[in-house]
Each structure stands twice: as structure tokens, then as C-alpha cells.
Amino acid sequence: MNEAQYVIGVDYGTDSVRSVIVDTANGNEISSSVFFYPRWQKGLYCNPAQNQFRQHPLDYIEGLTHTIKDCISKAGGSPIAQLVKGISVDTTGSSPVAVDERGVPLALHQDFESNPNAMFVLWKDHTAVGEALEINNHATKFSINYLKYVGGTYSSEWFWAKLLHVLRVDKEVRKATSSWVEHCDWIPFLLTGGTDVTAMKRSRCAAGHKALWAEEFDGLPPETFFSKLDPLLKGYREKLFKDTYTSDVVAGNLSTEWAEQLGLSTDVVIGVGAFDAHMGAVGGQIEPYYLSKVMGTSTCDILVAPNKDMDGKLIKGICGQVNGSVIPNMAGLEAGQSAFGDTYAWFKNLISWPLNHLLTESSLIDNSTAIALKEEIEGKIIATLSKQAAELPDDDNAELALDWLNGRRTPDANQELKGAIKGLSLGTDAPRVFRALAEATCFGAKNIVDRFKDEGVPVKGIIGIGGVAKKSPYIMQMMADVLEMPIRIHRFEHTCALGAAMFAAVAASIYPTIEIAMDKMGTGFEKEYKPNAKKRKLYREHYEQYLGLGRYIEKYNKRDVKPYQS
């Protein structure tokens, strides 16, 4: 009887990291563990009013250690640990950080331990809106369009805009920076004991979708593209990378230090990292021309197509098309919405203001009861709003919203845009506003699907993964109705971590290709939402109104780009 072979998938999300031990024979979860970032939970190093969202590397290190050790303990300890053959990691992105020559994030140095500019600049950080606008204007001055593989528009959520912003605003960080690395590249480097940042294997996924790397350019755009944008970028092209690697490639073996810390063997193989949605698409058993939607705080939409179909075809307004960013030797196309679950969370927090600020001051109940009551009510808000919104009549639908509360990722990135709600009256109540916000997020999803179709890329169906997909039947049914196509919900709870585990199985040579790993380790789908034909006319009309409101808001939201003044 063959000995079991296990792998570990690690998925770094916005609020937490989760690890899973998976049986490579069938994809069964052996154990899992989730760790919420303690500094992030306290709101440290963030300033939402300025769109600043930073995460400390210690949150990532502590989460990595805790979840893997907890998984091993839950699974049975040392006997299980001996069967672990590989580890692969996915993260949010673009979430880069400034590092020294050894590849150590500056925030891990005492002089920078409380400096947000020395920490990971989370994907949702939009402090670099001005820099993104400058990059877009600057790119028009070259005979080669260096933005053509990222949809033609560079975003403040991405690598170079964030790098330039940090270099401009923090002289001390600028002086100490040797390179700039993505979260998904740093964790494998950390686990393998890397000590030379120039030897770090960079993810094809991250480099192609966010850092302007392209095969046509033989790496990054030329030095003049960056140095003429701002002299502060002079030399950074050489400090970064030329080669990139798909996630079936080995980054190295687990270092002695980390093997001892985790209770694993140095024979454990570490795979090259990637972004969460890209590995999540693999975990969700993506097929060519099916759109995989990772629906959490934001959405990240992934589509794969044969390279021959994409030859000579450039898709306008998406977050990049990269050979091998999802499945090696296939084109990976990315799109998404900057706020999805965050939209519902914003409204929940808005209407929870009395619970957060007044309940504990009540003279009628003690403090512990007030806190317990607050938690109970908050836990029911979204479910109750969904139930009451679903009961509203279709012919009473005055309220209309835009889902741009954190800007617009696609189509056509514009992180300056803001959300909006119109049609409010004295009859508007919380369920009606929630319905309008839910519709807006679904219309945003339709706008992405329509862009793919308009650019000649068919979308045959939708694969839903992530927290919202599994926990909100109301929104999933609405989305099926709006998109007018079925949505299959993947069975595995931690689908991105499962995708990482599949790549770990390939890196560890348990399976020769990721397609075979997907076939052997895929766990299938638990539910399918089918569109309600009776809703078609209603949502088509509302969608046109949504597009009209968007055009109006965008028209009066223009910003003049002014040269940066130090």
C-alpha cells in the first residue's frame, strides 16, 4: 500500500492567513487553521481617510508559524508532519514592501518597526493615485505601449505606483531600500532561508499583472521608461528582476531554521508563489473561458485561454494578460472589483454606529451584556438585510447605487472614483439601500463580463469561490439573474489554499502538471445558481441606469495631473 503524501497550501488574505493540509491523492482536507492578523485587527499603521492600508510583516510571520503548526497538531502531530512533501503560498496583490540587500522587509529593522512606509503596502492602499496617473500620462510618450499587457491603464493598486510613492514621501526608507518585493515572492524566500534578494525567484503572476513585466519586453520596460518618469527610479530596474517563474517551479527547500520551527523536514519543497485569486482559480477547477470569481472583500476575476487564441489580441481595461500566470502555457486574464464584500461591510458598519458608540454607555444593561448584545446583533445584520431585501417588490425600486466605494479596478482602472447612491427618499430604509448596493456589485460584475465579450473573449460560465459566494445566496442568485448565466459554487471552503496545495503537489513532483493535479485533487461543486428569466427585463433596465449614473459621476470626477513637488 502506497504511503500517503500530503502538501500544505497557505493563503494570505486581507484580514487573515489560512493554511490547509491536503491529501494529494484526492484533495481531501486533513486539517486547516486560520489566524487573524493582530496588528491589522487593531487598525495599526492604517488611515482609511487617506486610503492608507499597511500590514506589518510580523503579522505574516506569526500567522505562517501558527497556522502550519496548528494544522500539524490537529492532523496528528509528527506522524503527519513526516508525510508533508511540499508547501506553496498565495497572497493578496499587489502588496509590495521595501527590503534590504538580504531581502528583509525594512519594518523588521528596529529603526523602521513602526514606520508604515517600511511595511507591506496592501493591495487596497490607494495613496499612490497621483503616481498612477503620472505613469499613465508618461506611457503615452513612448513609441512602444508598455501598458498594453495590463489593459492600457496603470492602477494605484499596483507595484510601480506604490514604489514611487513611498520613495517620494519617505527619505529614510528611500535611503535604506535595496529592492522592492511582492508578498507572494517574499514568503517562499523566507521559508527557503534566502539571504540575497537578487536570488529571489519572482512570480510570473505578480510581475506580469502588476509590474509591467512582459515576454515581448524581455523583462521589464527599459531603464529610460522609469528614470524619465522620476529620477528617484533610476537604477531600480536593475535592482529588481528580469526572469520570472510560474508556480509549478521549485523556489527551494524548507530551510533548517524553518523546518525546526514548524516540525517539518528540510526535504519539504517550497513552490514559487502567486496571487490568491490566480491560485484560487486553480483550486476552483477553472476551465478555458469560464470566469473564476473570488468574492471576498473585493473580487478578483480570472479567465484562462489557450495562448493561440490570444495571439495578437490585447484586452483593453483589464488587470493584465500574462502567459502562465494561472496555468503554465496558457494565457491568464485578470479583472475585478475594488470593493465587493467591503461594500456590504461598509454599510453594516454605517448602520451599526449606535451599537459601536452608544450601547456600552447604556444605564440599563451592564458592559459585558452590552458587548455580547452588540456582537449578536452585528452577526445578524447582513443575513436579515438580505432576507428583507429579497422580499421587496420589484416595482418599488427607486434607489440606485455605484459600487466604486474603493475606486474602480475594471473595466478601465480609476481609483479616484467614488461610490454613489441616488433615488433616496423618506421612504428609503436599510433593506432598500442594501438592495441597491447588492445590485451595484452585481452590475459591476456584469460590466466586467461585457468587457471581455466586447473584446472578443467569450465567457461561458461563472465559477464562484470565496466567502460571499459560499455565504450569501441572496447575492449569488441576484448575480446569476444579472449576468444571465449560471454560477457554480466550489465545494472546498479554502479554495485559494487548495490551489496553492495543488501547486505544491506539482513542485514536489507528485504530479507532472497542474492540470493533472487539478483533476486528481479537485473536490467539485456544491451548488449552482441558475438565472431567473422573469428578472431579465428588470435587471437589464437597471443595468442601463447603473451605466448612466457611472458616466455622470465619472464626468465630474476628473483630476488634473500635476508634476510631483518634493
Query: Would you state the pLDDT for residue 521?
Result: 98
Residue with grid cell 523583462, as numbered in its chain: 219
Per-residue confidence band for 160, with pLDDT thresholds at 50, 70 and 90: very high
pLDDT tens digits, 83-118? 999 999 999 999 999 999 999 999 999 999 999 999
Rounded to whole angstroms, the Cα distance separating 315 from 451 reads: 8
Rounded to whole angstroms, the Cα distance separating 271 from 255 reads: 13
**What's the alpha-carbon Rg for the chain, to the nearest Å?**
23
Print burial letters for 77-99: b (CB count within 10 Å at least 16), e (below 16): eeebbebbbbbbbbbbbbbbbbb
Q: What are phi and psi of 437, to 5 degrees?
A: -70, -40
Query: Would you state the pLDDT for residue 566?
Result: 58
Does the pLDDT value for residue 54 go beyond 50?
A: yes
Which domains does the chain possess? 6-284+492-523 (3.30.420.40), 341-347+394-491+528-555 (3.30.420.40)
CA triplet 547, 134, 160: central angle to 5 degrees? 100
Q: Where are the beta strands (DSSP E) in 76-222?
A: 84-91, 96-99, 120-121, 179-182
Query: Would you state the pLDDT for residue 409?
Result: 92
CA triplet 243, 248, 253: central angle to 5 degrees? 85
Query: Would you state the pLDDT for residue 1?
Result: 43
Report CA torsion sign: 535, 538, 540, 542: negative
Residue type, 12: Y
Does the pLDDT value for residue 211 go beyond 50?
A: yes
Do residues 71 and 19 touch, judged by C-beta distance below 8 A? yes
Instruction: Quote the pTM value.
Output: 0.92
Q: Residue 185 is inside which H or E element, if any?
A: helix 183-191
For 402-464, give the DSSP string: E--BTBB-SSS-BTT---EEE---TT--HHHHHHHHHHHHHHHHHHHHHHHHHTT----EEEE
Share the mean pLDDT of the chain. Answer: 95
Do residues 244 and 213 touch, judged by C-beta distance below 8 A? yes
Rounded to whole angstroms, the Cα distance separating 80 from 78 reads: 5
Mean of the pLDDT values across residues 516-540? 96
Q: Which residues contact 53 (CB under 8 A, 6 or more apart)?
A: 46, 121, 122, 124, 125
pLDDT tens digits, 374-425? 999 999 999 999 999 999 999 888 899 999 998 999 999 898 899 999 999 9
Report CA torsion sign: 103, 106, 110, 116: negative
Mean of the pLDDT values across residues 351-363? 91
Do residues 351 and 385 touch, judged by C-beta distance below 8 A? no
Residue type, 143: S
Strands 120-121 and 54-55: antiparallel
Does the pLDDT value for residue 275 go beyond 80?
A: yes
Do residues 497 and 328 touch, judged by C-beta distance below 8 A? no
Does the pLDDT value for residue 360 go beyond 90?
A: no
